[in-house]
């Protein structure tokens, strides 16, 4: 019985995932259709009344709704992953950085271009064909369509990527994090050992002189010179003492000889 329940659960999640894929595809197709029509089709058909112009605003708003719905669908698909459920949103975001950054950029670009288009079309006597005579509209529109193509591909690739069982398997991610932590711990240990060695070397040169260390290389040279001078002075004193002893011995010998001569006489 447990095996049967697991099979049912997997089938249900697989069907739900297919539904979200189809919905994502429909949203992308809807946005593609609006991108290919809002700048070319005359929805008002020559009608310049206020109600006719409001249709352009509604179409523009519909396109924004489709794009926001696409982002929400992707977010819901990411919400089913193991990383999202355990709160590892940073790790999950790194896996889909490109598409997550592309969504706000594309929505903002669509709002700017659509607002520019609607503002021009609301002018009196302005027709749809005159859009292409505007100085900045053509390059903005071409760049928008290029970004839109990248946007569709990124969404479909991310949707297929989220279909991988890896993002829903707890054991796989536990093993990945265990291996990553083990590697990082080894690196951190080696860094700690190297930093300890550097600190010990630093302490040897920076330890106060009264504790047996040296402050810096210049201080060490000065101490060497002092020791040399001390040794020289010691040698001089030794030589002086030797000379004094020699002189004393000579004087003693002279006195002895004098005494001998006196005794003989």
**Of 151, 53, 54, which is closest to residue 108 (Cα–Cα)?**
151
The least confident of 3-7, 19-23, 44-48, 99-103 is 3-7
CA distances (Å), 136 to each of 23, 25, 116, 173, in order?
35, 31, 10, 49
pLDDT digits (tens, 9 = 90+) for 31-71: 999 998 888 776 666 555 566 677 888 888 999 999 999 99
Asked if residue 121 lies in contact with residue 39, where contact means CB atoms within 8 angstroms, the answer is: no
**What is the per-residue pLDDT across 112-155, written as a single tens digit (0 to 9) for each?**
999 988 888 887 777 777 888 888 889 999 999 999 999 999 99
How is residue 125 written in tokens?
Answer: 């006597």
Tell me which of 77 and 217 has the higher pLDDT. Answer: 77
Q: Average of pLDDT values for 192-215?
A: 49
Contact 96, 78 (CB under 8 A): yes
Backbone φ/ψ region at 46: left (φ over 0), alpha (ψ -120 to 50), beta: left
Crossing angle for the helix pair 97-121 and 50-79, nearest 10 degrees? 170
pTM here? 0.63
Average pLDDT of the residues of the chain: 77
- Taking residues 233-258, what's their average pLDDT? 73
Closest CA to 176 of 92, 85, 79, 74: 92
**Is a pLDDT exceeding 80 seen at residue 218?**
no
């Amino acid at each position: 019985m447990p095996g049967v329940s697991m099979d049912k659960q997997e089938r249900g999640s697989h069907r739900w995932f297919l539904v979200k894929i189809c919905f994502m595809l429909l949203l992308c197709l809807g946005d593609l259709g609006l991108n290919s029509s809002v700048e070319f089709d005359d929805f008002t058909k020559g009608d310049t009344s206020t109600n006719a112009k409001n249709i352009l605003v509604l179409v523009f708003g519909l396109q924004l709704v489709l794009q926001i719905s696409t982002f929400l669908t992707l977010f819901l698909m990411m919400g089913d992953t193991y990383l999202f459920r355990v709160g590892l949103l940073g790790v999950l975001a790194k896996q889909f950085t490109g598409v997550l950054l592309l969504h706000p950029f594309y929505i903002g670009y669509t709002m700017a271009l659509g607002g520019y288009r609607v503002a021009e079309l609301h002018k009196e006597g302005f027709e749809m064909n005159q859009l292409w005579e505007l100085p900045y509209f053509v390059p903005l529109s071409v760049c928008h369509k290029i970004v839109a193509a990248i946007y569709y591909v990124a969404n479909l690739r991310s949707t297929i990527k989220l279909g991988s069982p890896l993002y829903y398997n707890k054991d796989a991610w536990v093993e990945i994090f265990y291996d990553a932590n083990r590697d990082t711990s080894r690196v951190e240990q080696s860094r700690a050992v190297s930093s300890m060695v550097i600190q010990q070397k630093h302490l040897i040169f920076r330890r106060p002189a009264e504790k047996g260390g040296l402050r810096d290389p210049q201080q060490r040279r000065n101490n060497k010179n002092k020791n040399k001078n001390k040794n020289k002075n010691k040698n001089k004193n030794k030589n002086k003492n030797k000379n004094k002893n020699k002189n004393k011995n000579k004087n003693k010998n002279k006195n002895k000889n004098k005494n001998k001569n006196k005794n003989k006489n």
